[in-house]
Amino acid sequence: MPHLRWLTSGESHGPALSVIVDGVPAGLSLGAEAINHDLARRQLGYGRGGRMKIERDRALIEGGVRGGETLGAPIGLRIENRDFANWQGRMGAEVFETAPAPLSTPRPGHADLAGALKFDRRDVRDVLERASARETAARVAAGAVARALLAAVEVRVASRVCAIGGVEDPTEVDPRQWCLPGPGRDALEASSLRVLSAEAEEAMREAIHSVSHEGDTLGGVVEVVALGLPVGLGSYTQWDRKLDARLAGAVMSVHAIKAVELGDGWAAAGRRGSAVHDPITRQHGRYLRTQNVAGGLEGGVTNGEALTLRAAMKPISTLRRPLPSVDLLTHRPVDANTERSDLCAVPAAGVVVEAMVCLVLADALLEKCGGDSMRELLRNVEAVRQQMGAHP
């Protein structure tokens, strides 16, 4: 059974999104401020839609925390949807006084048609409300709890945008320069697209601006890095214990993510082994690598190097110039439904993928180092680090 479990509930225009996180040790300092910081980061990004002008996502801690410290009990978080005020007659739980007209024109690229067929729904809104990327607000809130747990053992997770709509940021830089607190990280977070290069940011903004006039949308690529992980998280002994598989599955579950790579994944596939596998050295009592093509994982186990992962996000499915579809009620050809939506949400996807990485890594940390209390966990992590010969 996972050591850190979490479940979300709620629809995009319903009353709220909720998430319960179970398995966090007692004694972790946790306040709404840290959670709200990540929720605010998720709302940003040039190309985000009109909903972001309505919402001010904040988490209400409804259980599991007392006096700023976790209790070892399930942590309940709730994020109110301010937009619900505009949807009361159409998204409340009670029987409608006047049933809203069913939405019967599924959008290609979203869960609309497959979901309506699967759950035998006549109104596609019954599907799209839960399938909406709005749900990622709950994931980010849960991820912020996991991030606090990782930070307590000096593990840091951060993301940057590598490409939008085929416009790439060619910057090659040590991730410590933008992953750890400092001017590099501050500059990245201040960027309207969370990208390292100012030139690339300008070109990406142009690309987003041009599609906005054509009723189209863009996707892109994000990179997530985790620093400070102890050696030995995950395992090669069973398919479902391999940390690369757990990370890839979690990240693939994020809305619109259609490909994930660990380390130099796709590029390494075209190179020789002698150029790919990371030579081992030993310095100051610690095993090191002269490069990190593997991205910090070998055999599904952390090897002490920076964990690096990239994820590819498909373009947003709602197009203002809609694609052909079929009306579920008449079976006649029709233009797909167009909902208010984003033009590009790649910067937000980086924050969501960070959250998923934090949740998987926190689970793997508890799996190896256990601990009902933070005092127990910290003692165990230090013992593991000493034993693995890796100093923080």
Q: Which residues bind ligand EPS (CB under 6 A)?
A: 12, 49, 51, 83, 132-134, 136-137, 255, 316-318, 339-342
How far is residue 15's CA from residue 330's CA, in Å, rounded to a whole number?
32
Whichever of 5 and 340 has its CB closer to ligand EPS, that residue is 340
Whichever of 61 and 316 has its CB closer to ligand EPS, that residue is 316
Total number of residues shown for the chain: 392
C-alpha pair distances (Å), 265 with each of 44, 162, 240, 312, 385:
29, 15, 20, 12, 28
Whichever of 305 and 342 has its CB closer to ligand EPS, that residue is 342
CB of 278 to ligand EPS, least distance (A): 37
Q: What is the DSSP string of 213-265?
A: HTT----EEEEEEEESPPTT-S-SSSGGG-HHHHHHHHHHTSTTEEEEEETTH
What does the block give as tokens for 321?
């110039």
| Paired residues of 65 in beta bridges | 70
| Paired residues of 310 in beta bridges | 223, 261
Whichever of 18 and 136 has its CB closer to ligand EPS, that residue is 136
How far is residue 46's CA from residue 345's CA, in Å, rounded to a whole number?
8
Whichever of 81 and 292 has its CB closer to ligand EPS, that residue is 81
Going by C-beta distance under 8 Å and a sequence separation of 6 or more, which residues neighbour residue 375? 27
Whichever of 255 and 368 has its CB closer to ligand EPS, that residue is 255
Q: Which helix (H) or strand (E) holds 298?
A: strand 297-298
CB of 234 to ligand EPS, least distance (A): 30
Burial class (CB in 10 A: 0-12, 13-18, 19+), 11: buried
Q: Which residue is nearest to ligand EPS (CB)?
A: 51
Place of tokens 């620093």: 227
- DSSP classification of residue 29: B
CB of 84 to ligand EPS, least distance (A): 10
Whichever of 3 and 107 has its CB closer to ligand EPS, that residue is 107
Backbone conformation region of residue 295, classed left if phi is above 0, alpha if psi is from -120 to 50, else beta: left
Whichever of 10 and 228 has its CB closer to ligand EPS, that residue is 10
CB of 136 to ligand EPS, least distance (A): 6
